A and B are shown apart, each in its own frame.
Chain A
Amino acid sequence: MNNKHTVTAFDEDIDNIRGLIAEMGSRAETALTNAMAALATNDHALALTTAQGDKAIDALEIEVEKLIVQTIALRAPMADDLRELIADLKMSAVIERIGDYSKNIAKRVRKLESRAFVEQSDAIPRMAAITGEMLRMVMDAYARRDVDMAKAVSERDNEVDQLFKELFVDLVGFIAKHPEAAQEVAHLLVVSKNIERIGDHTVTCAEMIYFTETGEHLNQDEPA
């Protein structure tokens, strides 16, 4: 979509929505980074501000939803315009979920009764680093309308899934050896699941970018 609409106010509406989604993505990236930093350094103050920051993402989602409904009603979009607005609606919903997961991770930092696993393993930060990188890439792909980049993000999720499986085994094994760390491990199981879900939602964003640009569904042939 390079050329402008005859009704330029339509372009302004779409630019406005894109700007808000970019802001949501950027805030979600920061939330994940800060939640992981708080976990690594046991920084309770950072954990608290990260959790509180989620409200801004929630408010942006409501704003995006309102603007999209309004634009559909007033502009009667067609073809790629329509696909983009539907895709944007779905993206804003999953980015909001990414914010929720990051908040959830941050809240658990303050609840950990021990830090035995956290201090000795880099598996969770490694998984979060890949997921964070995927999120950055997908927001870049969104800004550039880059279908190849979106595809690359989607393919990277396999790595996250594999890490999650290994981590699950490690965490369960850790409880067996260190029963005193059961409470910590229970929290870390949820944290790692949250990170894995952030990866999935990032893939949804990639799929929406692909759908907007091509009208086709990415990953359609994959088994459920």
Chain B
Amino acid sequence: MTEATPQPKITARPKITARNVDVFYGEKQAIKDVSIDVTMDEVVAFIGPSGCGKSTFLRTLNRMNDTIPIAKTTGTIELDGHNIYAPTMDVVQLRARVGMVFQKPNPFPKSIYDNVAYGPRIHGLASSKSDMDEIVEQSLTRAGLWTEVKDRLSESGTAMSGGQQQRLCIARAIAVDPEVILMDEPCSALDPIATAKIEELIHELRGRYAIVIVTHNMQQAARVSQRTAFFHLGTLVEEGDTKDIFTNPREQRTKDYITGRYG
């Protein structure tokens, strides 16, 4: 087992470049010296046991940790070569470019239409009602939801099934035309059919957006991602092609985790 920090794979023009990232919650260090690239053409899965830092690291990528007063992030994270932690960075704009989908579907208590239209409205992306209609239809279509909801757009988003709510949240993230979508265990509250639909959706969205997914379900990581990163105790132990990580990982800790010998 090597003790050196794994160096990120060299890939063409990464969308996100993270280098030597540390995250502290007060005195406690939650992320230690993590470096990784995310490119446009792939889905990257973060796996690891509870408390390993995978969600914390995901949240550094659109500065969601800023909402936690005691959290401090050091190192560099660049989006298209620009430091997202620079004082000049507009965080609201950043989160539009780097969207997020959470573990529990969290639609607004508004209509299906307004859930999707909310982001474009506050970012001023539509100049007319027909513009907005188009954005809503396109976002719902890309989220695989349009045919199911097109006749009931005025119904409440919270009245839908869990799987539909999660796809609505994905449509909401897509509506502001992001470049990156971060997903934090997006299927953990869903049944297998709804999960399969989200996984199919991730497959369809690949290439249009850079996608990073945190998941506890290793089979899901294996199914949806092209690259997998294994976190343990705040460090990035190993990252590589998903097919290599799941058939022949290099590090003992990765092997123990994915074969069910952890703890």
Q: Which residues of A contact B (CB under 8 A)?
A: 3-7, 10, 76-83, 215
Contacts and interface: CB of A to CB of B under 8 A. Distances in A.
Nearest to A75: B260
Given A5-B259, A82-B247, A83-B248, 8 more contacts: A3-B256, A10-B260, A78-B258, A78-B259, A79-B247, A79-B248, A79-B255, A83-B247
Contact of A76 (B219, B255, B263): B219
Interface residues of B, number: 15
Interface string B226-263: 00000000000000000000111100000110111111
A76 B262 CA distance: 16
Nearest to A6: B260
Interface of B: 218-219, 222, 246-249, 255-256, 258-263
Contacts of A77: 259
Contacts of A78: 218, 222, 246-247, 258-260
Contacts of A10: 260
B259 A79 contact: yes
Which DSSP category, helix, strand, loop or mixed, fits chain A's interface?
A: loop
Contact of B249 (A4, A7, A79): A79
A4 B247 CA distance: 18
Contacts of A79: 246-249, 255, 258-259
30 contacts: A3-B256, A4-B261, A5-B259, A5-B260, A6-B260, A6-B262, A6-B263, A7-B260, A10-B260, A77-B259, A78-B218, A78-B222, A78-B246, A78-B247, A78-B259, A78-B260, A79-B246, A79-B248, A79-B249, A79-B255, A79-B258, A79-B259, A80-B248, A80-B255, A80-B259, A81-B259, A82-B246, A83-B248, A215-B247, A215-B248
Nearest to A4: B261
A21 B89 CA distance: 63
Contacts of B263: 6
Contacts of A3: 256, 261
A106 B260 CA distance: 46
A215 B250 CA distance: 10
B187 to A, nearest CB: 16
A142 to B, nearest CB: 19
Nearest to B250: A215
Contacts of B261: 3-6
A215 B263 CA distance: 24
